[in-house]
Structure 1
Amino acid sequence: MSYLVLIGDLIASRESTHRQALQHRLKAVLKRLNQQTPALASPYTLTLGDEFQAVFTRADTVFDDMVQILAALHPDQARFALGLGEITTDLNPDQALGMDGPAFYRARDGIEKLKDSGDLFTLEGLPDTWADLAGGTLSLLSNRVEKWEANRLAILHGLLMDTPVKDIARELGISEQAVYKNINNGGLKAVMQVLSALAQLLNDYLDQKA
Protein backbone atom coordinates (compact mmCIF):
# COMPACT_ATOMS: atom_id res chain seq x y z
CA MET A 1 0.00 0.00 0.00
CA SER A 2 1.24 3.49 -0.84
CA TYR A 3 0.93 6.62 1.26
CA LEU A 4 1.47 10.33 0.80
CA VAL A 5 4.10 11.81 3.11
CA LEU A 6 4.37 15.56 3.65
CA ILE A 7 7.55 17.08 5.03
CA GLY A 8 7.51 20.80 5.73
CA ASP A 9 10.30 23.14 6.71
CA LEU A 10 10.27 26.74 7.91
CA ILE A 11 12.38 28.96 5.66
CA ALA A 12 15.21 30.94 7.29
CA SER A 13 13.59 30.54 10.70
CA ARG A 14 16.95 30.51 12.49
CA GLU A 15 17.52 34.09 11.34
CA SER A 16 14.06 35.24 12.43
CA THR A 17 13.98 37.89 15.14
CA HIS A 18 10.72 36.39 16.44
CA ARG A 19 11.51 32.69 16.15
CA GLN A 20 9.71 31.74 19.36
CA ALA A 21 6.48 33.38 18.21
CA LEU A 22 6.87 31.75 14.79
CA GLN A 23 7.23 28.31 16.35
CA HIS A 24 4.19 28.99 18.54
CA ARG A 25 2.10 29.84 15.45
CA LEU A 26 3.33 26.70 13.72
CA LYS A 27 2.42 24.48 16.68
CA ALA A 28 -1.04 26.05 16.84
CA VAL A 29 -1.86 25.51 13.17
CA LEU A 30 -0.54 21.93 13.20
CA LYS A 31 -2.69 21.17 16.24
CA ARG A 32 -5.73 22.58 14.44
CA LEU A 33 -5.01 20.53 11.32
CA ASN A 34 -4.67 17.35 13.35
CA GLN A 35 -8.16 17.95 14.71
CA GLN A 36 -9.81 18.55 11.34
CA THR A 37 -7.99 16.42 8.74
CA PRO A 38 -9.67 13.01 8.36
CA ALA A 39 -7.16 11.40 5.98
CA LEU A 40 -4.19 11.47 8.36
CA ALA A 41 -2.64 8.05 8.92
CA SER A 42 -0.06 9.72 11.15
CA PRO A 43 -0.57 13.26 12.50
CA TYR A 44 1.39 16.43 11.89
CA THR A 45 4.44 16.18 14.12
CA LEU A 46 7.33 18.54 14.75
CA THR A 47 10.62 16.77 14.13
CA LEU A 48 14.17 18.13 13.91
CA GLY A 49 14.66 21.86 14.14
CA ASP A 50 11.75 23.62 12.47
CA GLU A 51 10.62 20.68 10.33
CA PHE A 52 7.30 18.87 10.55
CA GLN A 53 5.79 15.87 8.82
CA ALA A 54 2.59 13.88 8.42
CA VAL A 55 1.33 10.80 6.58
CA PHE A 56 -1.87 10.80 4.49
CA THR A 57 -3.99 8.01 3.07
CA ARG A 58 -5.63 10.44 0.64
CA ALA A 59 -4.80 13.84 -0.82
CA ASP A 60 -8.23 15.49 -0.47
CA THR A 61 -7.09 18.22 1.93
CA VAL A 62 -3.30 18.20 1.66
CA PHE A 63 -3.08 21.34 -0.50
CA ASP A 64 -5.54 23.24 1.67
CA ASP A 65 -3.46 22.21 4.69
CA MET A 66 -0.40 23.80 3.10
CA VAL A 67 -2.35 26.98 2.35
CA GLN A 68 -3.53 27.12 5.98
CA ILE A 69 0.02 26.75 7.25
CA LEU A 70 1.31 29.50 4.96
CA ALA A 71 -1.52 31.81 6.02
CA ALA A 72 -0.83 31.18 9.71
CA LEU A 73 2.91 31.82 9.35
CA HIS A 74 2.79 34.87 7.06
CA PRO A 75 4.95 36.89 6.50
CA ASP A 76 7.30 34.00 7.29
CA GLN A 77 7.19 31.13 4.81
CA ALA A 78 7.52 27.37 4.69
CA ARG A 79 8.34 24.89 1.94
CA PHE A 80 6.55 21.58 1.44
CA ALA A 81 7.67 18.33 -0.15
CA LEU A 82 5.23 15.52 -0.90
CA GLY A 83 6.47 11.96 -1.34
CA LEU A 84 4.43 9.07 -2.74
CA GLY A 85 5.31 5.47 -2.01
CA GLU A 86 5.32 2.65 0.49
CA ILE A 87 6.13 2.82 4.18
CA THR A 88 8.18 -0.22 5.10
CA THR A 89 7.87 0.09 8.88
CA ASP A 90 4.77 -0.06 11.05
CA LEU A 91 2.60 3.04 10.89
CA ASN A 92 2.70 5.21 13.98
CA PRO A 93 -0.82 6.59 14.46
CA ASP A 94 0.23 8.82 17.35
CA GLN A 95 3.24 10.68 15.91
CA ALA A 96 4.84 10.89 12.48
CA LEU A 97 8.09 9.51 13.90
CA GLY A 98 9.96 6.21 13.74
CA MET A 99 8.77 5.34 10.23
CA ASP A 100 10.71 4.69 7.06
CA GLY A 101 10.34 3.73 3.41
CA PRO A 102 10.26 5.15 -0.12
CA ALA A 103 7.53 7.71 0.65
CA PHE A 104 9.75 9.28 3.32
CA TYR A 105 12.90 9.07 1.18
CA ARG A 106 11.15 10.88 -1.68
CA ALA A 107 9.72 13.60 0.54
CA ARG A 108 13.17 14.11 2.08
CA ASP A 109 14.75 14.35 -1.38
CA GLY A 110 12.08 16.88 -2.27
CA ILE A 111 12.96 19.14 0.66
CA GLU A 112 16.61 19.13 -0.40
CA LYS A 113 15.62 20.05 -3.96
CA LEU A 114 13.48 22.92 -2.70
CA LYS A 115 16.43 24.34 -0.78
CA ASP A 116 18.26 24.56 -4.10
CA SER A 117 15.39 25.73 -6.31
CA GLY A 118 13.80 28.24 -3.92
CA ASP A 119 10.31 26.88 -4.71
CA LEU A 120 7.71 26.31 -2.00
CA PHE A 121 6.18 23.04 -3.25
CA THR A 122 7.37 19.84 -4.87
CA LEU A 123 6.09 16.32 -5.42
CA GLU A 124 8.17 13.17 -5.77
CA GLY A 125 7.08 9.65 -6.69
CA LEU A 126 4.58 10.05 -9.53
CA PRO A 127 5.17 8.03 -12.71
CA ASP A 128 7.20 9.84 -15.36
CA THR A 129 4.03 10.37 -17.42
CA TRP A 130 2.74 12.82 -14.82
CA ALA A 131 5.84 13.89 -12.92
CA ASP A 132 6.93 16.75 -15.20
CA LEU A 133 3.44 18.20 -15.47
CA ALA A 134 2.86 18.06 -11.72
CA GLY A 135 6.31 19.43 -10.97
CA GLY A 136 5.99 22.31 -13.41
CA THR A 137 2.54 23.16 -12.08
CA LEU A 138 3.78 23.29 -8.48
CA SER A 139 6.77 25.40 -9.49
CA LEU A 140 4.47 27.92 -11.19
CA LEU A 141 2.21 27.90 -8.16
CA SER A 142 5.20 28.50 -5.89
CA ASN A 143 6.17 31.57 -7.88
CA ARG A 144 2.66 32.97 -7.51
CA VAL A 145 1.92 32.09 -3.89
CA GLU A 146 5.19 33.35 -2.39
CA LYS A 147 4.18 36.90 -3.42
CA TRP A 148 0.75 36.80 -1.80
CA GLU A 149 -0.33 38.61 1.35
CA ALA A 150 -1.91 36.75 4.26
CA ASN A 151 -5.47 37.77 3.29
CA ARG A 152 -5.19 36.18 -0.15
CA LEU A 153 -3.98 32.92 1.39
CA ALA A 154 -6.85 33.03 3.88
CA ILE A 155 -9.34 33.72 1.08
CA LEU A 156 -8.04 30.74 -0.89
CA HIS A 157 -8.40 28.57 2.19
CA GLY A 158 -11.97 29.77 2.64
CA LEU A 159 -12.83 29.04 -0.98
CA LEU A 160 -11.30 25.57 -0.75
CA MET A 161 -13.53 24.94 2.27
CA ASP A 162 -16.60 26.17 0.32
CA THR A 163 -17.02 29.12 2.69
CA PRO A 164 -19.39 31.80 1.27
CA VAL A 165 -17.69 35.05 0.25
CA LYS A 166 -19.73 37.07 2.76
CA ASP A 167 -18.47 34.82 5.58
CA ILE A 168 -14.85 35.07 4.37
CA ALA A 169 -15.18 38.86 4.32
CA ARG A 170 -16.62 38.95 7.84
CA GLU A 171 -13.91 36.65 9.25
CA LEU A 172 -11.15 38.77 7.71
CA GLY A 173 -12.74 42.11 8.51
CA ILE A 174 -12.75 43.26 4.88
CA SER A 175 -15.44 44.03 2.32
CA GLU A 176 -16.92 41.45 -0.03
CA GLN A 177 -15.60 43.62 -2.86
CA ALA A 178 -12.07 43.18 -1.48
CA VAL A 179 -12.57 39.40 -1.42
CA TYR A 180 -13.69 39.36 -5.06
CA LYS A 181 -10.76 41.62 -6.00
CA ASN A 182 -8.36 39.09 -4.46
CA ILE A 183 -10.10 36.23 -6.25
CA ASN A 184 -9.73 37.99 -9.59
CA ASN A 185 -6.26 39.44 -9.16
CA GLY A 186 -4.86 36.23 -7.74
CA GLY A 187 -6.52 33.96 -10.28
CA LEU A 188 -7.85 31.98 -7.33
CA LYS A 189 -10.48 30.08 -9.32
CA ALA A 190 -7.76 28.76 -11.63
CA VAL A 191 -5.57 27.91 -8.63
CA MET A 192 -8.45 25.96 -7.10
CA GLN A 193 -8.94 24.01 -10.33
CA VAL A 194 -5.24 23.15 -10.45
CA LEU A 195 -5.14 22.04 -6.82
CA SER A 196 -8.29 19.95 -7.26
CA ALA A 197 -6.80 18.25 -10.34
CA LEU A 198 -3.53 17.52 -8.53
CA ALA A 199 -5.37 16.08 -5.52
CA GLN A 200 -7.41 13.84 -7.83
CA LEU A 201 -4.24 12.70 -9.60
CA LEU A 202 -2.67 11.78 -6.25
CA ASN A 203 -5.82 9.98 -5.11
CA ASP A 204 -5.94 7.98 -8.36
CA TYR A 205 -2.34 6.91 -7.79
CA LEU A 206 -3.01 5.96 -4.17
CA ASP A 207 -6.11 3.99 -5.18
CA GLN A 208 -4.08 2.05 -7.76
CA LYS A 209 -1.46 1.19 -5.16
CA ALA A 210 -3.93 0.30 -2.37
Structure 2
Amino acid sequence: MKVKNHIVLMADIIKSRKSVQKRLMEDFIRITECINKTNSKQLLSPLTITLGDEFQGVVKSVFDACTVIFTLEEEIIRQQVDFKLRYVLAEGTIDTPINPEIAYGMLGEGLSKARKALQESKNEPSRFHIELLNSSKSQALNNSFLIYQALINSWNVKKDYELIIAFLKVGGYKQVAEKLGKTRSQIWKREKSLKINEYIAIKEIIHYIGN
Protein backbone atom coordinates (compact mmCIF):
# COMPACT_ATOMS: atom_id res chain seq x y z
CA MET A 1 0.00 0.00 0.00
CA LYS A 2 1.41 3.37 -1.03
CA VAL A 3 2.01 5.80 1.82
CA LYS A 4 0.21 9.11 1.31
CA ASN A 5 1.99 12.31 2.20
CA HIS A 6 0.06 15.30 3.49
CA ILE A 7 0.65 19.03 3.63
CA VAL A 8 0.85 20.39 7.18
CA LEU A 9 0.56 24.13 7.84
CA MET A 10 1.77 25.49 11.17
CA ALA A 11 2.24 29.07 12.32
CA ASP A 12 2.99 31.00 15.47
CA ILE A 13 2.78 34.63 16.51
CA ILE A 14 6.13 36.41 16.40
CA LYS A 15 7.18 37.88 19.77
CA SER A 16 3.80 37.09 21.31
CA ARG A 17 5.15 37.40 24.87
CA LYS A 18 5.72 41.11 24.30
CA SER A 19 2.08 41.71 23.37
CA VAL A 20 -1.04 42.23 25.49
CA GLN A 21 -2.12 38.61 25.84
CA LYS A 22 -5.90 38.96 26.13
CA ARG A 23 -6.28 41.19 23.07
CA LEU A 24 -3.74 39.14 21.13
CA MET A 25 -5.56 35.87 21.77
CA GLU A 26 -8.93 37.36 20.88
CA ASP A 27 -7.51 38.60 17.57
CA PHE A 28 -5.73 35.29 16.90
CA ILE A 29 -8.88 33.24 17.53
CA ARG A 30 -10.99 35.57 15.38
CA ILE A 31 -8.54 35.46 12.45
CA THR A 32 -8.24 31.66 12.64
CA GLU A 33 -12.01 31.16 12.76
CA CYS A 34 -12.43 33.53 9.81
CA ILE A 35 -9.97 31.55 7.67
CA ASN A 36 -11.58 28.24 8.59
CA LYS A 37 -14.85 29.58 7.20
CA THR A 38 -13.59 31.34 4.08
CA ASN A 39 -11.04 28.65 3.16
CA SER A 40 -12.83 25.50 4.29
CA LYS A 41 -12.55 23.94 0.81
CA GLN A 42 -8.76 24.08 1.01
CA LEU A 43 -8.52 22.43 4.43
CA LEU A 44 -8.59 18.71 5.24
CA SER A 45 -8.35 19.55 8.93
CA PRO A 46 -9.04 23.11 10.12
CA LEU A 47 -6.54 25.56 11.55
CA THR A 48 -6.54 24.68 15.24
CA ILE A 49 -4.88 26.71 17.99
CA THR A 50 -2.68 24.32 19.98
CA LEU A 51 -0.23 26.15 22.26
CA GLY A 52 -1.91 29.51 22.75
CA ASP A 53 0.07 31.40 20.13
CA GLU A 54 0.35 28.61 17.53
CA PHE A 55 -1.98 26.84 15.13
CA GLN A 56 -1.76 23.77 12.95
CA GLY A 57 -3.89 22.38 10.15
CA VAL A 58 -3.78 19.95 7.24
CA VAL A 59 -4.21 21.42 3.76
CA LYS A 60 -5.29 19.62 0.59
CA SER A 61 -2.30 20.71 -1.51
CA VAL A 62 0.69 23.06 -1.65
CA PHE A 63 -1.31 25.35 -3.95
CA ASP A 64 -4.14 25.46 -1.41
CA ALA A 65 -1.69 26.09 1.43
CA CYS A 66 -0.33 29.13 -0.41
CA THR A 67 -3.90 30.38 -0.86
CA VAL A 68 -4.54 29.99 2.87
CA ILE A 69 -1.34 31.88 3.72
CA PHE A 70 -2.25 34.74 1.36
CA THR A 71 -5.74 34.94 2.85
CA LEU A 72 -4.31 34.98 6.38
CA GLU A 73 -1.86 37.76 5.57
CA GLU A 74 -4.52 39.91 3.90
CA GLU A 75 -7.05 39.26 6.67
CA ILE A 76 -4.48 40.36 9.26
CA ILE A 77 -4.09 43.61 7.31
CA ARG A 78 -7.85 44.01 6.83
CA GLN A 79 -8.62 43.51 10.53
CA GLN A 80 -5.65 45.68 11.57
CA VAL A 81 -4.44 43.21 14.17
CA ASP A 82 -1.12 43.96 15.81
CA PHE A 83 0.89 40.82 15.13
CA LYS A 84 2.69 38.92 12.40
CA LEU A 85 2.79 35.17 11.86
CA ARG A 86 5.71 32.86 11.19
CA TYR A 87 4.68 29.98 8.89
CA VAL A 88 5.93 26.47 8.21
CA LEU A 89 4.64 24.33 5.37
CA ALA A 90 5.84 20.72 5.62
CA GLU A 91 5.13 17.60 3.59
CA GLY A 92 5.11 14.18 5.22
CA THR A 93 3.04 11.27 6.44
CA ILE A 94 0.33 11.44 9.10
CA ASP A 95 -0.11 8.12 10.88
CA THR A 96 -3.38 8.84 12.66
CA PRO A 97 -6.75 9.51 10.98
CA ILE A 98 -7.18 13.11 9.80
CA ASN A 99 -9.92 14.77 11.80
CA PRO A 100 -12.03 17.12 9.63
CA GLU A 101 -13.34 18.89 12.75
CA ILE A 102 -10.12 19.68 14.64
CA ALA A 103 -6.39 19.35 13.89
CA TYR A 104 -5.51 17.90 17.27
CA GLY A 105 -4.24 14.54 18.52
CA MET A 106 -2.65 13.63 15.18
CA LEU A 107 0.78 11.99 14.90
CA GLY A 108 3.23 11.43 12.08
CA GLU A 109 6.37 12.53 10.28
CA GLY A 110 4.67 15.49 8.62
CA LEU A 111 3.64 17.00 11.95
CA SER A 112 7.02 16.28 13.58
CA LYS A 113 8.84 17.87 10.64
CA ALA A 114 6.64 20.97 10.78
CA ARG A 115 7.04 21.32 14.55
CA LYS A 116 10.83 21.03 14.33
CA ALA A 117 11.01 23.54 11.47
CA LEU A 118 8.85 26.02 13.39
CA GLN A 119 11.21 25.86 16.38
CA GLU A 120 14.33 26.16 14.24
CA SER A 121 12.99 29.13 12.28
CA LYS A 122 12.42 31.40 15.28
CA ASN A 123 15.73 33.23 14.84
CA GLU A 124 15.57 33.51 11.06
CA PRO A 125 14.47 36.71 9.26
CA SER A 126 12.08 34.97 6.87
CA ARG A 127 8.53 34.39 8.14
CA PHE A 128 7.88 31.65 5.57
CA HIS A 129 9.53 28.22 5.65
CA ILE A 130 8.68 25.51 3.14
CA GLU A 131 9.89 21.91 3.52
CA LEU A 132 8.54 19.67 0.74
CA LEU A 133 9.84 16.34 -0.52
CA ASN A 134 10.91 18.14 -3.70
CA SER A 135 13.87 20.24 -2.51
CA SER A 136 14.03 22.36 -5.69
CA LYS A 137 10.37 23.29 -5.32
CA SER A 138 10.94 24.09 -1.65
CA GLN A 139 13.84 26.40 -2.49
CA ALA A 140 11.88 28.16 -5.23
CA LEU A 141 8.95 28.76 -2.86
CA ASN A 142 11.20 29.93 -0.02
CA ASN A 143 12.91 32.43 -2.34
CA SER A 144 9.58 33.64 -3.72
CA PHE A 145 8.11 34.11 -0.24
CA LEU A 146 11.14 36.26 0.66
CA ILE A 147 10.07 38.65 -2.10
CA TYR A 148 6.44 38.44 -0.98
CA GLN A 149 7.49 39.29 2.60
CA ALA A 150 9.62 42.24 1.46
CA LEU A 151 6.69 43.73 -0.45
CA ILE A 152 4.35 43.46 2.54
CA ASN A 153 7.01 44.89 4.86
CA SER A 154 7.37 47.92 2.59
CA TRP A 155 3.75 48.93 3.20
CA ASN A 156 2.83 51.45 5.88
CA VAL A 157 -0.49 49.85 6.76
CA LYS A 158 -1.43 52.44 9.39
CA LYS A 159 -0.88 55.31 6.95
CA ASP A 160 -2.23 53.66 3.79
CA TYR A 161 -4.79 51.24 5.24
CA GLU A 162 -7.78 52.40 3.18
CA LEU A 163 -5.76 52.41 -0.03
CA ILE A 164 -4.15 49.00 0.49
CA ILE A 165 -7.47 47.39 1.39
CA ALA A 166 -9.08 48.93 -1.70
CA PHE A 167 -6.35 47.54 -3.97
CA LEU A 168 -6.63 44.07 -2.39
CA LYS A 169 -10.40 44.05 -2.66
CA VAL A 170 -11.25 46.09 -5.75
CA GLY A 171 -8.29 45.62 -8.07
CA GLY A 172 -6.79 48.12 -10.55
CA TYR A 173 -6.13 51.81 -10.00
CA LYS A 174 -9.11 52.95 -12.12
CA GLN A 175 -11.61 51.05 -9.97
CA VAL A 176 -9.86 52.11 -6.75
CA ALA A 177 -9.86 55.78 -7.84
CA GLU A 178 -13.60 55.59 -8.47
CA LYS A 179 -14.26 53.86 -5.14
CA LEU A 180 -12.21 56.35 -3.12
CA GLY A 181 -13.25 59.45 -5.07
CA LYS A 182 -9.69 60.25 -6.13
CA THR A 183 -8.20 61.06 -9.52
CA ARG A 184 -6.83 58.21 -11.60
CA SER A 185 -3.46 59.94 -11.71
CA GLN A 186 -3.23 60.05 -7.91
CA ILE A 187 -4.11 56.39 -7.49
CA TRP A 188 -1.91 55.27 -10.39
CA LYS A 189 1.08 56.84 -8.63
CA ARG A 190 0.18 55.10 -5.36
CA GLU A 191 -0.30 51.79 -7.15
CA LYS A 192 3.29 52.15 -8.39
CA SER A 193 4.74 53.27 -5.04
CA LEU A 194 3.00 50.44 -3.16
CA LYS A 195 4.17 47.96 -5.81
CA ILE A 196 0.68 46.46 -6.08
CA ASN A 197 1.36 44.88 -9.49
CA GLU A 198 4.54 43.30 -8.15
CA TYR A 199 2.56 41.97 -5.17
CA ILE A 200 -0.03 40.39 -7.45
CA ALA A 201 2.73 38.98 -9.68
CA ILE A 202 4.63 37.27 -6.85
CA LYS A 203 1.39 35.68 -5.61
CA GLU A 204 0.81 34.27 -9.10
CA ILE A 205 4.41 33.01 -9.26
CA ILE A 206 4.08 31.29 -5.87
CA HIS A 207 0.82 29.66 -6.95
CA TYR A 208 2.46 28.53 -10.20
CA ILE A 209 5.37 26.92 -8.35
CA GLY A 210 3.06 25.36 -5.79
CA ASN A 211 0.67 23.90 -8.35
Q: Note if 1:49 corresponds to 2:23.
A: no
| Residue of structure 1 in register with 2:169 after alignment | 158
Please, which of 124, 127, 149 is the counterpart of residue 120 of structure 1? 127
The Cα offsets for residues 150-185 of structure 1, whole Å up to 9 and x where unpaired, read as 3376456436xx699747985xx7857676555322
Q: Which sections of structure 2, spanning at least 5 residues, go unmatched?
A: none
Between the aligned partners of 1:156 and 1:124, the Cα distance in structure 2 is: 31
Q: Which amino acid aligns with 2:146?
A: S
Does the 8 A contact of 2:176 with 2:187 survive in 1?
A: no
Does the 8 A contact of 1:75 with 1:149 survive in 2?
A: no
Percent identity (aligned): 22
CA shift, 1:86, in A, is: 2.5
Query: The residue matched to 2:121 in structure 1 has which SS?
Result: helix
Q: Note if 1:196 corresponds to 2:201.
A: no
| Residue of structure 2 in register with 1:35 after alignment | 37
Between the aligned partners of 1:47 and 1:144, the Cα distance in structure 2 is: 30
Does the 8 A contact of 1:83 with 1:105 survive in 2?
A: no
CA shift, 1:21, in A, is: 1.4
- The structure-2 alpha-carbon separation of the partners of 1:148 and 1:107, relative to structure 1 and needing over 3 Å to count, comes to farther
Query: The residue matched to 1:44 in structure 2 has which SS?
Result: strand
The Cα offsets for residues 7-34 of structure 1, whole Å up to 9 and x where unpaired, read as 1111111111x32112211211211111
Does the 8 A contact of 2:11 with 2:54 survive in 1?
A: yes
Between the aligned partners of 2:183 and 2:116, the Cα distance in structure 1 is: 42
Does the 8 A contact of 2:148 with 2:202 survive in 1?
A: no
Please, which of 8, 20, 23 is the counterpart of residue 21 of structure 1? 23
Which moves more between the two structures, 98-107 or 147-156? 147-156
The alignment covers a number of residue pairs equal to: 198
- The Cα RMSD (Å) is 3.0
TM-score, normalized by length of structure 1? 0.77
Q: Which amino acid aligns with 2:149?
A: S
Q: Note if 1:78 corresponds to 2:85.
A: yes
Please, which of 100, 105, 116 is the counterpart of residue 107 of structure 2? 100
Query: The residue matched to 1:43 in structure 2 has which SS?
Result: strand
Q: Which sections of structure 1, spanning at least 5 residues, go unmatched?
A: 204-210
Does the 8 A contact of 1:81 with 1:110 survive in 2?
A: yes
Structure number with bigger Rg: 2
CA shift, 1:46, in A, is: 0.8
| Residue of structure 2 in register with 1:146 after alignment | 153
TM-score, normalized by length of structure 2? 0.77
- The structure-2 alpha-carbon separation of the partners of 1:189 and 1:87, relative to structure 1 and needing over 3 Å to count, comes to farther
Between the aligned partners of 1:107 and 1:168, the Cα distance in structure 2 is: 43
CA shift, 1:47, in A, is: 0.8
Does the 8 A contact of 1:5 with 1:103 survive in 2?
A: yes
